[in-house]
Amino acid sequence: MLELLGQCWDLVLGLALSLWGVAVLVWSFVLGVLVHLHVEMPRLEGLLVGVALAWLMARRDRHPLLRVLSAPLKLVIEVLDLAWDHTIEAIGDSWSVVTGWVRGSLSWARQKVTGLWDQGLSVLKGLRDRLKRDQ
């Protein structure tokens, strides 16, 4: 009886060690592929990460675990969206201020030029009128 229990224990222990060996083999393969992608093919790694994150965001409402995993990503996306909106608003406000200043300067310069032109014409008209009276 003890011999049969020993044989069963050896079977269970052998299966556990075999499963552990398979797990270590798969883990070393995955890490090797990840290191190779990171070192030799960074663009492919970025593409794969982007596809994985897009998949995660697309399916986050279907499973609570995916919702938990995608929460930090959603936070980052919301912060980037908010920063983008504020940047676009700041650029638009700056553009309107700069164009307002330029338009104001151009209208001021136009007023000065037209004022000088009108003043020059009035001097010439006065001179013409005086010349007509003298004839």
**pLDDT tens by residue, 110-133:** 999 999 999 999 999 999 988 888
Residue 119 within any structural domain of the chain? yes
User: How many beta carbons lie within 10 A of that of residue 70, not counting itself?
Assistant: 20
Residue 115 within any structural domain of the chain? yes
Q: Which residues contact 74 (CB under 8 A, 6 or more apart)?
A: 57, 60
| Domain coverage including residue 121 | 67-134
What is the chain's length? 135
Q: What is the pLDDT of residues 61-92, one digit of tens each?
A: 888 888 888 888 889 889 999 999 999 999 99
Residue 43 within any structural domain of the chain? no
Q: What is the pLDDT of residues 15-51, one digit of tens each?
A: 999 999 999 999 999 999 999 999 999 999 999 999 9
Q: What is the pTM of this model?
A: 0.47
Residue 99 within any structural domain of the chain? yes
Number of domains in the chain: 1
Q: Residues 67, 61: contact at Cβ < 8 Å?
A: yes
134 or 25: which leads in pLDDT? 25
Q: Residues 57, 71: contact at Cβ < 8 Å?
A: no
List the structure tokens of 10: 């050896």
Residue 120 within any structural domain of the chain? yes
Residue 54 within any structural domain of the chain? no
